[in-house]
Amino acid sequence: MKKRLEAMNRPSRPRWAVLGEKMLEGVIRLCGISAIVFVAAILLFVFREAAPILFGDRFHLKQFLLSVEWYPTSVSNVRYGTFALTVGSVSVTALAMVIAVPFGLGAAIFVSEFCGRRMRETLKIVIELLSAIPSVVWGFIGLTVMSKLIVAYTAAPVGVNILNGGVILALMSVPIIVSIGEDALKAVPDSYREAGLALGATRWQLVYRVLLPAAKNGLLAAVLLGVGRAVGETMAVLMATGHAVHIPHGILDSVRTLTANIAAELGEAPVGSDHYRVLFLTGLLLFGITFAVNLTAELVVRGIRRK
């Protein structure tokens, strides 16, 4: 009897609140799962477009991956070799990272640890502004400003080449590296800084003895997002690298990247033709490259963590 009375008096939450909470939970769950669904759907779509040629008998995977001959519209001698394009993508990205990683991480360390509050706020706004510049504007800068500079100061016959694309990509990746890297450094608890400084470390000793080891995962993520941006970038490299299919011999050679190739040719390839399907296959290759980069990084991070 007493128990029942208690149960009656205890305030219970209204039915609509309980139901609403359930619904909200469902919506959130849907949002979370949708990320997986989208990635899978994109992959499936690209694969579906590419599949007929991949399993057709006119196609050789070895030739696709390792040949430097890309003659998609030749009448007599059609060749779909993407090796030169892959080399183009890798070389431009590598140069961009050589420039952007030291710059970006250095800037992240400066913004997070060394500069004053007002300076930091100003820098962060400017850096965000830098990352908001559309890639076609960067391509325009590459095509007009950078290329003139390169022709003026080097022996290169044309200004649109790996150097040009690398510098432009570096400028585009730096803001990402800086803002993610700064977040990673800011996430290191202040107690570490205080403990390190209380032990008589200078600011610089603190950075490389404590903060860099503590933030290494976040910093690696920053670099990787920079790489991802550089590998996937299309419009700027299309305009800045010269669009020539061949294996480069130096950074002053023109190249064509996988992304630029797809962007330039997909519009002109008849839907359903071999050329069209090979371009989709190139998309899959690009997907594979970025996936490999991310996977490597994940394994590296885990390796560091286990140690």
Residues of the shown chain interacting with another protein in the complex, contacts defined by CB under 8 A: 117, 190-202, 205, 209-210, 213-214
Nearer to another protein, 292 or 304 (CB): 304
Nearer to another protein, 193 or 229 (CB): 193
User: Closest Cα partner for 283 from 266, 300, 301?
Assistant: 266
Nearer to another protein, 264 or 300 (CB): 300
What is the nearest approach in angstroms of another protein to the Cβ of residue 102? 23
What is the nearest approach in angstroms of another protein to the Cβ of residue 188? 8
Nearer to another protein, 183 or 265 (CB): 183
What is the nearest approach in angstroms of another protein to the Cβ of residue 117? 8
Nearer to another protein, 111 or 210 (CB): 210
What is the nearest approach in angstroms of another protein to the Cβ of residue 187? 12
What is the nearest approach in angstroms of another protein to the Cβ of residue 240? 41
Nearer to another protein, 98 or 195 (CB): 195
What is the nearest approach in angstroms of another protein to the Cβ of residue 178? 23
DSSP assignment of the chain equals -HHHHHHHHS----HHHHHHHHHHHHHHHHHHHHHHHHHHHHHHHHHHHHHHHHSSTT--HHHHHH---EETT-SS--EE--HHHHHHHHHHHHHHHHHHHHHHHHHHHIIIIIS-HHHHHHHHHHHHHHHTS-HHHHHHHIIIIIHHHHHHHSS-SSS-SHHHHHHHHHHHHHHHHHHHHHHHHHTS-HHHHHHHHHTT--HHHHIIIIIHHHTHHHHHHHHHHHHHHHHH--HHHHHHSB---S--SSTTS-B--HHHHHHHHTTTSPTTSHHHHHHHHHHHHHHHHHHHHHHHHHHHHHHHHH-
Structure tokens at 63: 């030739």
Side-chain-side CA neighbours of residue 50 (13 Å): 18
What is the nearest approach in angstroms of another protein to the Cβ of residue 196? 6
Asked if residue 257 lies in contact with residue 88, where contact means CB atoms within 8 angstroms, the answer is yes
Nearer to another protein, 210 or 279 (CB): 210
What is the nearest approach in angstroms of another protein to the Cβ of residue 210? 6
Asked if residue 58 lies in contact with residue 274, where contact means CB atoms within 8 angstroms, the answer is yes
Nearer to another protein, 76 or 191 (CB): 191
How many whole angstroms separate alpha carbon 280 and alpha carbon 193? Answer: 50
